[in-house]
Structure 1
């Protein structure tokens, strides 16, 4: 579906976390949870703005 957010580039997200000095294990544990919430919220906002 055009315009729907599917997820993050986790390789890039983990690289950014590493560049910021964030522990790789913590990032690997937390990023998927954060990503799921972000994707759901963005898609909900998109759907409600097109109603």
Structure 2
């Protein structure tokens, strides 16, 4: 159950990106934890599951940016 809750949280974090120049560096984890708490998601589950998902997200978005297809992402 907690895995699905964290995945739902991931879907809500689109506006919480941290950006430096032309690169995404991650999510605002403080905001992620606050949103998760408001949704009743276990902070332990967030701390365990969100960082590896964040790493994949950062890699994929930055790949899209560097390949010139970032306009598909609405960034």
Q: Structure 2: give runs of 5+ residues left out of the alignment.
A: 1-19, 70-75
TM-align CA RMSD: 1.5
Deviations 1:15-42 (Å, cap 9, x if unpaired)? 1111111111001111111110110010
Provide the secondary structure at the position in 2 that maps to 1:30: helix
Separation in structure 2 between the aligned mates of residue 6 and residue 47 of structure 1, nearest angstrom = 14
2:64 to 21, 45, 48: 45
Return the TM-score normalized by structure 2: 0.61
Q: Which residue of 2 aligns with 1:25?
A: 44
TM-score by length of 1: 0.85
Structure 1: tracts of 5 or more residues without a match: none
Question: What's the secondary structure of 1:49's corresponding residue?
Answer: coil
- Number of aligned pairs? 50
